[in-house]
Amino acid sequence: MEPQRVMVAMSGGVDSSVAAALVQEAGHDVVGVTLRLWGGESDSGCCSVSDVDDARRVADSLGIDHHVFNMGEDFDRHVVEPYVADHSAGRTPNPCIECNRHIKFDRLLRRARSLGFDRLATGHHARVVDMSDGTRRIARAADPAKDQSYVLHMLDQEVLVRLDLPVGEMSKDEVRARAATLGLRTADKPDSQDVCFITSASRGDAGRREFLSRRIPLTAGRVVDGSGAEVGRVDAVEMVTLGQRRGMELAGGDGPRYATAVDTATATVTVGSATDLFTETTPVDRVGWAAGPVKGSVLVQTSAHGEPVGAVLGVEGPADGGQMSVSWDRPHRRVAPGQSVVFYDGDLVLGGALAC
- With 0.85 as the threshold, say if the pTM is over it: yes
> Does residue 175 share a domain with residue 98?
yes
Residue 241's domain comprises 218-272
**Would residue 193 count as lying in a domain?**
no
pLDDT (average), residues 294-319? 88
For the chain, what is the mean pLDDT? 92
> Does residue 326 share a domain with residue 243?
no
> Does residue 293 share a domain with residue 343?
yes
pLDDT digits (tens, 9 = 90+) for 223-266: 999 999 999 999 999 999 999 998 887 877 678 899 999 999 99
> Does residue 14 share a domain with residue 58?
yes
Residue 324: phi, psi to the nearest 5? -165, 180
Model confidence band, residue 43 (pLDDT cutoffs 50, 70, 90): very low
> Does residue 172 share a domain with residue 288?
no
- Specify whether 356 is catalytic: no
pLDDT of 201 strictly over 70:
no
- Range of lowest pLDDT (7-21, 75-89, 262-276, 306-320): 306-320
> Does residue 83 share a domain with residue 27?
yes
Model confidence band, residue 320 (pLDDT cutoffs 50, 70, 90): low
Helix (H, G, I), strand (E, B) or coil at 176: helix
**Would residue 199 count as lying in a domain?**
no
Separate counts of helices (H) and strands (E) for the chain: 9, 18
* % of the chain exceeding 70 in pLDDT: 92
**Would residue 260 count as lying in a domain?**
yes
Closest CA to 99 of 123, 118, 76, 120: 76
* Last residue in a domain, options 229, 251, 272: 272
Neighbours of 42 (CB within 10 A): 19
pLDDT (average), residues 199-210? 70
* Last residue in a domain, options 227, 243, 272: 272
Roughly what angle, to the nearest 10 degrees, separates helices 172-181 and 14-25? 70
For residue 250, what is the domain's CATH number? 2.30.30
Q: Which of 46, 47, 96, 99 is catalytic?
A: 99
**Mode of pairing for the β-strands spanning 5-9 and 221-224:** unpaired
* Last residue in a domain, options 152, 181, 210: 181
Model confidence band, residue 191 (pLDDT cutoffs 50, 70, 90): confident
Q: What is the spatial distance between Cα 161 and Cα 159, in angstroms, rounded to a whole number? A: 6
> Does residue 223 share a domain with residue 110?
no
Structurally, how many domains does the chain consist of?
3
Residue 84 CB burial class (10 angstroms; 0-12, 13-18, ≥19): middle
> Does residue 170 share a domain with residue 41?
yes
pLDDT of 203 strictly over 90:
no
**Would residue 200 count as lying in a domain?**
no
For residue 20, what is the domain's CATH number? 3.40.50.620
**Would residue 158 count as lying in a domain?**
no
- Specify whether 46 is catalytic: no
Residue 41 CB burial class (10 angstroms; 0-12, 13-18, ≥19): exposed
> Does residue 315 share a domain with residue 267?
no
> Does residue 176 share a domain with residue 44?
yes
The per-residue pLDDT for 7 is: 98
**Would residue 206 count as lying in a domain?**
no
> Does residue 288 share a domain with residue 262?
no
pLDDT of 112 strictly over 80:
yes
pLDDT digits (tens, 9 = 90+) for 260-278: 999 999 999 999 999 999 9
The per-residue pLDDT for 319 is: 65
**Would residue 117 count as lying in a domain?**
yes
Which residues, 6+ apart, have CB-to-CB distance to 213 below 8 Å?
Answer: none
For residue 320, what is the domain's CATH number? 2.40.30.10
Q: What is the spatial distance between Cα 79 and Cα 99, in angstroms, rounded to a whole number? A: 6
pLDDT (average), residues 311-338? 86
Q: Which of 46, 96, 196, 356 is catalytic?
A: 196
Asked if 163 and 120 touch (Cβ cutoff 8 Å), the reply is yes
Strands (E) across the chain are located at: 5-9, 29-36, 65-70, 119-121, 127-130, 136-139, 163-164, 221-224, 230-234, 249-250, 258-263, 268-272, 278-289, 296-301, 309-313, 324-333, 340-345, 348-355
pLDDT (average), residues 105-133? 97
> Does residue 47 share a domain with residue 173?
yes
Closest CA to 220 of 238, 236, 209, 239: 236
More confident site: 38 or 39: 38
pLDDT (average), residues 290-311? 94
**Would residue 150 count as lying in a domain?**
no
Amino acid making up residue 109: L
